[in-house]
Amino acid sequence: MKDYVISHKLYGAWEYEKEVEDLNISSSNGLQLVKGGCFHSKFKRDQSVRYIYQLDYNPRIADKTRYFEMFEEQGWVYINSTFNGWHYFKKEFSDTLSAEDMVIYSDRASLYEMQNRWIRLVTILSIFYPFMAVLYLFMGISHQEMSLFLEGIVFTLFSITFLLAFINVKRKRAGKEGIINIPLQIVFPFILILLVASIILIYI
Amino acid sequence: MLKNEPLTESYFYILLCLYEKANHGYGIMQEAERLSEGQVKIGSGTMYGATGNMIKKGWIKEIENLNPEDKRKRLYELTPIGKSVLLEEIIRLKRLVEGAKTVMGEEGI
């Protein structure tokens, strides 16, 4: 059996809580995160420990030593950061940990402050993608160009995913039930296939 | 001018815990937990954000830890602005409680 396992599970920013949940489950199954990433994560097989995880989003940390010190003080072990500003932390699981010991944001104001940093981007993209989708679908049809049309579908898929994510975040904050959400893991393979197809179409 | 926004519990306790002496992040966290009888346990992310924001606003400032036995280099200290923010908040809270007393009586609350 291999010691290391690579996972290609994808998560949107709005799915970060699901990622934490999945990491916690993996850890209790003996797969310990070594390096977290946007496109692939590395796990090590180790049944002897169990960790709980937390993800923080902060692409512009003003004072890195101060930042990491704050986490170390409360028993959080820094794992790594992604290129786009997500930071992975872990803490050894124990029955004595209280619910507050397991989270890095202890009040709503600060949790929203962190989420607002990525919500801005999601908001911009959920306006940008529909615009591009209409543009490409229109060009694809008017120029009778299949590759442009396929790219239009890619933008449409992104539009739907991001719009749903945006609506869900807003609904959650208003205390309402979320509506249907398409996991990025499911959308992404379709997008890849469509992109590859459109590139092939350009060259034949 | 708009009145000052009420402080969050975390902000209030951070300022309060620095009232008597400078302290480091972990010390503030423990003190806040003690003073709130276990109700407020400030998480790392919350603490980093709150202290960062308050340094920017000039309510607190970082000072060097001169105690050689303590490895932590950073201490936070309340500034005169921070002190007045804290005192204003206490006056605001007192007014809320006084208002409640007027309506419900001493025993009501």
Question: How would DSSP label each residue in A6-30?
Answer: EE-----GGGHHHHHHHHHHHHHTT
Contact status of B65 with chain A (Cβ, < 8 Å): no
Contact status of B39 with chain A (Cβ, < 8 Å): no
How many interface pairs between A and B have CB atoms less than 8 angstroms apart? 70
**CA B38 – CA B47 distance, rounded (Å):** 16
Helices A184-203 + A146-173 axis angle, to 10? 160
B-chain residue closest to A98, CA distance = B41
CB distance B29–A109 less than 8 Å? no
- Measured in degrees and rounded to the nearest 5, phi and psi for residue A85 equal 105, 15
Contact status of B19 with chain A (Cβ, < 8 Å): no
- What pLDDT is stored for residue B31 in this prediction? 96
**Pairing mode of beta strands A41-45, B74-78:** unpaired
CB distance A73–B44 less than 8 Å? yes
Complex-level ipTM? 0.88
In A, which residues are within 8 Å of B24 by CB distance? 73
Judged against a pLDDT cut of 80, whether residue B4 lies above it is answered with no
Mean pLDDT by 10 residues, chain A (204 residues): 89 94 96 93 96 96 91 95 96 93 95 95 94 96 92 95 93 89 90 92 84
Give me the helices (H) in chain A, please.
16-28, 64-73, 108-142, 146-173, 184-203
Q: 3-state class of A132 per DSSP?
A: helix
Residue A70 CB burial class (10 angstroms; 0-12, 13-18, ≥19): buried
Judged against a pLDDT cut of 50, whether residue B1 lies above it is answered with no
Judged against a pLDDT cut of 60, whether residue B2 lies above it is answered with no
Contact status of A19 with chain B (Cβ, < 8 Å): no
**CA A181 – CA A168 distance, rounded (Å):** 8
CB distance B41–A100 less than 8 Å? yes
CB distance A109–B10 less than 8 Å? yes
Contact status of B23 with chain A (Cβ, < 8 Å): no
Question: Do A66 and B56 touch, CB atoms closer than 8 A?
Answer: no
Task: Provide the CA A147 distance to its chain's centre, in angstroms.
Answer: 28
Strand partners, B62: B76
CB distance A106–B42 less than 8 Å? yes
In B, which residues are within 8 Å of A103 by CB distance? 43
Contact status of A174 with chain B (Cβ, < 8 Å): no
CA distances from A53 to A25, A96, B53 (A): 10, 16, 25
Question: Do A59 and A84 touch, CB atoms closer than 8 A?
Answer: yes
Count of residues in chain B: 109
Contact status of B28 with chain A (Cβ, < 8 Å): no
Q: What is the mean pLDDT of residues B88-94?
A: 96
B72 Cα to chain A: minimum distance (Å) = 9
Contact status of A107 with chain B (Cβ, < 8 Å): yes
A71 Cα to chain B: minimum distance (Å) = 5
Judged against a pLDDT cut of 50, whether residue B46 lies above it is answered with yes
Strand partners, A81: A87
